[in-house]
A = this chain, B = another copy of it.
Amino acid sequence: MTYCLGIQTHQGLVMASDSRTNAGMDQVNVCRKMHLYIHEGERVFIILASGGLSITQSVTTLLRRDFDQGRGLASAPTFYDAARVVGEQIRRVGEMDREALKRDKISFNINVLLGGQIAGEKPHLYLIYPQGNPIQATEDSPYLQIGESKYGRPILDRGVRYRLTTLEEAVKFALISLDSTMRSNVTVGPPIDVVVYQNNDLRVRRYRRFTSKDPDLQRIQFQWEHSLRKAVLELPDVDFDEGAEQVI
C-alpha cells in the first residue's frame, strides 16, 4: 500500500509520500515514490505514484526517458498538457501490461499526483487516474491524496485552507496526515519524503527525507499525541439523560 498527498495553498505546494512497498505481507521493501523532473528556472514537476510497483516504475522510467530527450514533460506547453502527458504514458503502459495482468486477475492499478509549475503559468496540482484522465486541486479542495487516503484525511479536512494555510503549516499537516496513516495501517511506512515548492521558484529548494528515527519527526509525533489527548480531555463534559426510555 501507499499514501501520498499534495497540498496546494496560496503560497505553493507541499508534496509528501511514504516509502513502503509490499508484494504480500512477507515481501516488504523501501522504495521512493517521489520523482522530480526539473529544468531549473523553466519547469518543475513533482510526481508521486501509487499502485503496482511494476506499473509505477514503468511509467516514471518512460517519463524520465522522454524528459531527458526533451520530450514529454520537458516540452509540454502548459501544465494541463503535462498532466495529459502523464495520462498518455499511463495509457501506453496499460496497452503493454493490462491484458496480461487481467488474465491473472491483477488490476491495472496506478494513481499519480503531479505538482509543480511551468514558467509563465501558476503552479498546479493534478491527480491522474489509472485510465489516464486528470483532475485538479481547487481553492475549495486544496489537497489531493492517492493510496490509503482515509486515515489521514480528517486532519486535512479540519485544517487546510487555500487562502490561510502557510507552507510551513502545510508541512505540519502533511506530516501529521502521513503519521496518522502509518500508525493505523502497517502497509504505509517510512521514510517519508517531503518537498516544499514555493510559488514561482521554478526549482526545488526544500526537500527532506524523514526516517522513522528522525528526531524532528519523533518530536512532532510525541508533541502531537500529547496535544491531541490534552485537547480531548479539555473538551466540555457531556451530560446524559437518566435512563434509556428513548431507545427502542
Are the CB atoms of B150 and A228 closer together than 8 Å? no
Stretch of A5-13, A21-29, A88-96, A218-226 with 4 or more beta carbons under 8 angstroms from chain B? A218-226
Are the CB atoms of B235 and A172 closer together than 8 Å? yes
Q: Which of B173, B235, B243 contacts A204 (CB 8 A)?
A: B243
**Interface residue A71 (Cβ < 8 Å from any Cβ of B):** no
Write the nearest CB–CB distance from A88 to chain B, whole angstroms.
Answer: 22
Are the CB atoms of A216 and B234 closer together than 8 Å? no
Write the nearest CB–CB distance from A184 to chain B, whole angstroms.
Answer: 5
**Interface residue A196 (Cβ < 8 Å from any Cβ of B):** yes
- Complex Cα gap A209–B194 (Å): 43
Stretch of A106-114, A118-126, A130-138, A154-162 with 4 or more beta carbons under 8 angstroms from chain B? A154-162
- Complex Cα gap A181–B216 (Å): 29
- Complex Cα gap A237–B150 (Å): 25
Chain B residues with Cβ below 8 Å from A34 are 247
**Interface residue A68 (Cβ < 8 Å from any Cβ of B):** no
Are the CB atoms of B235 and A36 closer together than 8 Å? no
Chain B residues with Cβ below 8 Å from A175 are 238
Q: Which of B151, B171, B183, B225 contacts A238 (CB 8 A)?
A: B171
Are the CB atoms of A225 and B195 closer together than 8 Å? no
Are the CB atoms of A150 and B184 closer together than 8 Å? yes
Are the CB atoms of A247 and B207 closer together than 8 Å? yes
**Interface residue A104 (Cβ < 8 Å from any Cβ of B):** no
Are the CB atoms of A154 and B180 closer together than 8 Å? yes
Are the CB atoms of A208 and B247 closer together than 8 Å? no
Query: Which residues of chain A (74-112) have a CB below 8 Å from chain B?
Result: none
Are the CB atoms of A35 and B236 closer together than 8 Å? no
Q: Which of B173, B181, B243 contacts A232 (CB 8 A)?
A: B173
Are the CB atoms of B172 and A228 closer together than 8 Å? no
Are the CB atoms of A227 and B233 closer together than 8 Å? no
Write the nearest CB–CB distance from A60 to chain B, whole angstroms.
Answer: 9
**Interface residue A55 (Cβ < 8 Å from any Cβ of B):** no
Chain B residues with Cβ below 8 Å from A140 are none
Provide the A177-201 mask, 1 if CB < 8 A to any CB of B, else 0. Answer: 0001101100000000111100000
Are the CB atoms of A169 and B232 closer together than 8 Å? yes
In the A-B complex, the 4 residue pairs with the smallest Cβ-Cβ separation, listed nearest first, are: A150-B150, A206-B240, A227-B231, A154-B180
What are 8 inter-chain pairs, A to B, with CB distance below 8 A? A35-B247, A36-B244, A150-B184, A172-B235, A172-B238, A193-B247, A205-B242, A224-B231
